[in-house]
Amino acid sequence: MNKVRLGIIGMGNVGKHHAGYLLEGKVPRCELVAVCSTSPQKLEPYKAKGLKVFDRAEKLVPSREVDAVIVATPHYQHTSIGMAALEAGMHLMVEKPISAHKADAERLIAVAKRHPKQVFAAMFQLRTELRYLKIRKLIQNSDLGEIVRMSWIITDWYRTEAYYASGGWRATWRGEGGGVLLNQCLHNLDVIAWLLGMPSRVRGFCQLGRYHNIEVEDNVTACLEYPKGATGVFITSTGEAPGTNRFEIAGTRGKVVLENSRLTFARNEADMIEFSKSAKVGFVKPEVRQEDISFEDAATPHATLIQNFVDAILDGKPLIAPGEEGVHSVELANAMLYSSLIGQTVELPMDSAAFEKKLQQLIAESKFEKKVVEIKDDDFTKSFHR
Ligand SMILES: NC(=O)c1ccc[n+]([C@@H]2O[C@H](COP(=O)([O-])OP(=O)(O)OC[C@H]3O[C@@H](n4cnc5c(N)ncnc54)[C@H](O)[C@@H]3O)[C@@H](O)[C@H]2O)c1
């Protein structure tokens, strides 16, 4: 095979975005040949361009028209369609979150493990952004020393009532499985897990429908504790304006701060713990050197991840975001929410069956009535976050 025949399942906001750069030829050795959506009007422009169109994933998957698919549907279908695609012998790129909850993620990963020759990747495009790659290097090179604290205030995921009304699945337990944590923050939670590994304990305080007429969480504060004693705070909201995006990691050798597209590293000239032990007076501090770290925005982050997916299929290149790593962000989102719902700290790895049961209970008890309103001419790319 010297070219990947690709299909997209789910032609909403993000499916359309993927189709756009693929049809412009931005990903060499990849041909978009088929699109699939349960909304037939979304298929017309692609039919006119000569692509194969399908109104159901159940028809595209066995069709043999494609070697690989991007699954860009609402969350629960990531698992069912993803598993079907893998079982049918296809390579799979699944949109974030890889599943609506951890138990489903485990099911999807189990199927991927049974098909090790097929590539299973996840759409975590922040991993292509230099700002996070540079922070990762500081951690890997031990420039930060031992990590002691992390905090991310990411309250600038502002969304309007019209956004939530734009899709029947959005912000419902039944259709989405969660709110700001599982949708918008999945990217940030992936970055945290990718950079720092998983915490051992999580305590979340989630407010359900604090700012919007929705049944899921839209305002969250969570505390995290890591196995070696580092602590973390994660604060997010879709209701706060202007909001803040400040990511800070402190280690024994310094502190890195990413805020307002500026990345700074305050480098301690001595390890703060050793300095404390050896200092002979009480009010001194290690000397500190301020370093500005320059970076550029990734030009086409989604296309870069699809290029990497194609290179993994054709050349065996390592994945930037392997699908199975997607379980971590799902688990963080689930743990913060579950902890809040039961009013207790949750130990990780969390009990995925217990959370699934709680979610099913929320679905069964829901009295929420969703009003869907069509949004016209909205600029979806404005929703992208770095
Ligand atoms: N990586 C990113 O930057 C990014 C950005 C936005 C959304 N997303 C993710 O992409 C997914 C879709 O989000 P969206 O905003 O595009 O949603 P959307 O509601 O705009 O679109 C979803 C589409 O899926 C179709 N669909 C639903 N069930 C289907 C099925 N069984 N088979 C085929 N098509 C089906 C619907 O008809 C709709 O067109 C979500 O998981 C979301 O979290 C990722």
Beta bridge partners of 149: 231, 250
Q: What is the pLDDT of residue 271?
A: 98
Q: What is the pLDDT of residue 373?
A: 83
Cβ–Cβ < 8 Å for 118, 92: yes
Ligand 1 centre distance from Cα of residue 176 (Å): 11
Ligand 1 centre distance from Cα of residue 204 (Å): 27
Regarding the beta carbon of 8 and ligand 1, being less than 6 Å apart is answered: no
Q: Which residues contact 43 (CB under 8 A, 6 or more apart)?
A: 11, 35, 36, 37, 53, 55
Q: What is the pLDDT along the chain (386 residues), one digit of tens a residue?
A: 899 999 999 999 999 999 999 999 999 999 999 999 999 999 999 999 999 999 999 999 999 999 999 999 999 999 999 999 999 999 999 999 999 999 999 999 999 999 999 999 999 999 999 999 999 999 999 999 999 999 999 999 999 999 999 989 999 999 999 999 999 999 999 999 999 999 999 999 999 999 999 999 999 999 999 999 999 999 999 999 999 999 999 999 999 999 999 999 999 999 999 999 999 999 999 999 999 999 999 999 999 999 999 999 999 999 999 999 999 999 999 999 999 999 999 999 999 999 999 999 999 999 998 888 877 767 778 788 88
> Residue with the nearest Cα to atom 4 of ligand 1?
14
Ligand 1 centre distance from Cα of residue 271 (Å): 47
Q: What is the pLDDT of residue 377?
A: 64
Residue spans of alpha helices (H) in the chain = 13-23, 44-48, 57-60, 76-87, 102-113, 130-140, 161-165, 186-196, 272-278, 301-315, 326-342, 352-365
User: Structural domains in the chain?
Assistant: 4-126+300-323 (3.40.50.720), 130-298+329-383 (3.30.360.10)
H or E stretch covering 35: strand 30-36
> Residue with the nearest Cα to atom 28 of ligand 1?
73
Ligand 1 centre distance from Cα of residue 10 (Å): 5
Two structure tokens written together for 32 = 């978009």
Question: What separation in angstroms does the CA of 271 have from each of 134, 220, 278?
Answer: 21, 33, 11
Helices 352-365 and 102-113 cross at an angle (nearest 10°) of 130
Looking from the CA of residue 384, the nearest atom of ligand 1 is 3
| Residue 241 to residue 250: CA distance in whole angstroms | 27
Cis peptide before 45 (omega within 30 of 0): no
Regarding the beta carbon of 75 and ligand 1, being less than 6 Å apart is answered: yes
What is the radius of gyration, based on Cα positions, of the chain? 22
Among 62, 106, 105, residue whose Cα is nearest residue 84 = 62
Indicate the burial class of 351 (C-beta count within 10 angstroms; 0-12, 13-18, 19 or more). middle
Regarding the beta carbon of 14 and ligand 1, being less than 6 Å apart is answered: yes
Q: Which residues contact 165 (CB under 8 A, 6 or more apart)?
A: 370, 371, 372, 373
Residue in 17, 41, 95, 381 to alter for ligand 1 test, most ligand atoms within 8 A of Cβ: 95
Among 114, 88, 109, residue whose Cα is nearest residue 97 = 109
Question: What separation in angstroms does the CA of 89 have from each of 108, 114, 144, 192?
Answer: 14, 11, 43, 32
Regarding the beta carbon of 221 and ligand 1, being less than 6 Å apart is answered: no
Share of the chain residues as helix, strand and coil, in percent rounded to the nearest 5: 35, 25, 40
Looking from the CA of residue 124, the nearest atom of ligand 1 is 1
Q: What is the pLDDT of residue 370?
A: 83
